[in-house]
């Protein structure tokens, strides 16, 4: 058993999950902020140099766990570890955001898909991409193909 405390909270335009774009081709262009606890501000030193960050956060309003479910991007069920479903064994979310600027302990970012007030557990620099020619996207690519979408 591991216990964690929020390092800060998300300021988001989304107040409920229905407002968050979902499904194939959904764009996450929303801007918002990551408000880090002021005593942790030294931990943000030099973060401005990175264009993109991993944000690890908690699904604090999801309930229970569903091992197999149908995501909004498909009409077929998949395992929870093959999706971004909120109903996970550990309610951890992961989002890549673009860092726009920093104001003290507050990071202004683009690409928010979390709800207002979401607890942040960690932030890490996004360092490198997977080589494009080696990336396969499983059921998501198949669902896009069936719908005539391009990745």
Indicate which single residue of 27, 90, 148, 150 sits in contact with its own copies (rule: CB under 8 A).
90
Q: What is the DSSP letter of 23?
A: S
Of 23, 68, 104, 146, which one interacts with its own copies (CB under 8 A)? 68
Structure tokens at 133: 């020619």
Task: Tell me whether strands 78-79 and 92-103 are parallel, antiparallel or unpaired.
Answer: unpaired
Separation of alpha carbons 57 and 46, rounded Å = 21
Residues between 102 and 121 that touch its own copies (CB under 8 A): 119, 121
User: Cβ 62 to its own copies, closest distance in Å?
Assistant: 12
Report the nearest approach of its own copies to the CB of residue 135 (Å): 6
Confirm or reject binding of residue 27 to its own copies (CB under 8 A): no
Q: Please give the Cα distance from 52 to 111 (Å, whole number).
A: 10
Residues touching its own copies, count (CB under 8 A): 63
Is the CB of residue 33 less than 8 Å from the CB of residue 106?
A: yes
Candidates 36, 22, 44; CA nearest to 125 is: 44
Contact positions toward its own copies, by CB under 8 A?
1-5, 7, 36, 40, 42-52, 54, 56, 58, 60, 67-68, 77-84, 88-92, 94, 96, 98, 119, 121-130, 132, 134-142, 151
């Amino acid at each position: 058993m591991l216990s964690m405390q929020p390092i800060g909270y998300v300021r988001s335009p989304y107040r409920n999950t229905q407002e968050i774009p979902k499904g194939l081709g959904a764009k996450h262009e929303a801007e918002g902020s990551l408000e880090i606890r002021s005593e942790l501000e030294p931990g943000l030193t030099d973060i401005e140099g990175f264009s993109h960050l991993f944000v690890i956060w908690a699904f604090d309003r999801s309930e229970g766990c569903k091992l197999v479910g149908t995501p909004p991007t498909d009409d077929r069920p998949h395992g929870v570890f093959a999706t971004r479903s909120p109903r996970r064994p550990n309610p951890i979310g992961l989002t890549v955001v673009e860092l726009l600027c920093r104001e003290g302990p507050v990071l202004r970012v683009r690409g928010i898909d979390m709800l207002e007030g979401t607890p942040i557990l960690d932030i890490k620099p996004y360092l490198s991409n997977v080589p494009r020619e080696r990336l396969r996207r499983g059921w998501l690519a198949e669902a896009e193909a069936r719908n005539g979408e391009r990745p």
